Amino acid sequence: MSEWIGVEQACERLGVKQATLYAYVSRGVLTRRKTDGRSVFDAAEIEALARRGRPRRRAGTTDLVIESAITMLGEDRHYYRGRDAIELAATWRLEDVAAWLWTGEAEPGERAPFAARPEGLAAARDAQRGLPAGVLPLERLHVIVAAMAAADPVRLNFEPAAVQRTGTAILGGMVDALPDPGARKPRRPLVPELHVRLWRKLAGDGADDRLEDVLRFAMVLLADHELASSTLAARVAASVRADPYAVVTAGLGVVSGALHGGASLGVEALLAEIDEPHRAAHAIGERLRRGERISGFGHAVYKGGDARGEALLDRLRRTMPGNPRLAVADALLREAAHHSLPPMNVDFALGLLTHLAGMPRGAGEAIFGIARTAGWLAHAIEEYTSPTRLRLRASYTGPFRGAEVDTVGT
């Protein structure tokens, strides 16, 4: 009969942190089960892995491990410098969590508003004048960040304090340079909080202002998630001394992917298609018959469920009790379970938030990109300070014709 040991014993035997232990579980390297609410591991399996010295990879996967003190992934949630991100989201703002990720010292409190330099904000607004109608908010963010970079003569200062100052300008400009809703809403005084300014840019006519705080909650949850694909791209950019604007641009380029931050776009489309709960079965069934992936379900790390999504969905339920659109969301969740889809993730809850708030198409991925900018810059600061010299190598499998060559890359 197998002996089962706790997390602390498993970590001690393997000489790894809890985040690494759970990463082994997500990759199929280790088996985990729960007993009385605790995670336990097969002692023999742990011993065998310890003797091998490093975990086996599943076919078709590549492990890249970088030491970082920013974010740890647990079995269903993440931790910012050791603090539960879901707990922080209860009261913190994006500005608070950005400062915490960047320094590991800042606590919530009064701080100067995150705002772009006037010349950068003007350049970002001017650069959007020629964009066609219907451009998605995330696509505007690409233009905004590039324009602000061109207007910043000191962007190549890589000292941590300088990157933090640049970070506040980038985040402020990403929000403030988005188009003003104009005549649809009365002009109101400028406010320091980023989530309030973003709400005023994105919320639809008649949106319930109680959702403004749910937007704050979501932005804190999304601020970082260890080495997600967009963060890896941002970190690679920083490793070659690209400036902070280029780091953010690299992250934005990846975040639009349908399997990453762009997943909320699919959720928005799904919700917009269903006018009554009974239509959920048809919508899910048609997509599955076409062989389409259902956005908002499943996660590469949180196989048993994404606590971020559950927390955001619970926040929406408590804020908008009885809203008929929540009944549609519940019908979708039931239908997904009926088809044995994986548990819903944070992208589902984010898409539901933008849907309830009447935000424009693509608002979810823009919220994701703005919030995640805080994390990208935290990783950039870490990379500028302690370079990891990221250089992946390919295992060449193509044809070869000719004389021997030196295959060492640069």
CA distance 39 to 18: 11
User: Is position 347 annotated as part of the catalytic site?
Assistant: yes
pLDDT above 70 covers a percentage of the chain that reads 91
The pLDDT of residue 57 is above 70:
no
* Amino acid found at 362: G
Mapped onto helix, strand or coil, the DSSP state of residue 314 is helix
Residues 123-143 have a mean pLDDT of 95
pLDDT above 90 covers a percentage of the chain that reads 67
The pLDDT of residue 407 is above 70:
no
- The pLDDT assigned to 398 comes to 83
- Higher pLDDT, residue 65 or 188: 65
Confidence of residue 45 (pLDDT cuts 50, 70, 90): confident
pLDDT digits (tens, 9 = 90+) for 196-210: 999 999 999 999 999
For the chain, the average pLDDT equals: 89
Q: Which residues pair with 42 in a beta bridge?
A: 4
Residues 285-294 have a mean pLDDT of 93
pTM of the model: 0.84
CA distance 356 to 377: 30
Residues 120-124 have a mean pLDDT of 97
For the chain, domains (ranges, CATH) are 4-63 (1.10.1660), 87-390 (1.10.580.10)
The pLDDT of residue 183 is above 50:
no
The catalytically annotated residue of 299, 306, 355, 379 is 299
Tell me phi and psi for residue 80, to 5 degrees. -90, 110
Concatenated DSSP letters for 26-65?
HTTSS-EEEETTEEEEEHHHHHHHHHHSSPPPPTT-----
Q: What are the Cα distances from residue 29, in Å, to 25, 45, 252?
A: 6, 9, 31
pLDDT digits (tens, 9 = 90+) for 217-272: 999 999 999 999 999 999 999 999 999 999 999 999 999 888 787 889 999 999 99
User: Is position 299 annotated as part of the catalytic site?
Assistant: yes
Q: What are the Cα distances from residue 286, in Å, to 273, 283, 294, 353?
A: 12, 5, 11, 24
The pLDDT of residue 59 is above 50:
no
The residues, ordered by sequence, that sit 6+ positions from 136 with a Cβ below 8 Å of its Cβ are: 361, 362, 365, 366
Q: Which residue has the tokens 């997509």?
A: 287
The catalytically annotated residue of 42, 243, 306, 347 is 347
Confidence of residue 188 (pLDDT cuts 50, 70, 90): low
pLDDT digits (tens, 9 = 90+) for 311-364: 999 999 999 999 999 999 999 999 999 999 999 999 999 999 999 999 999 999
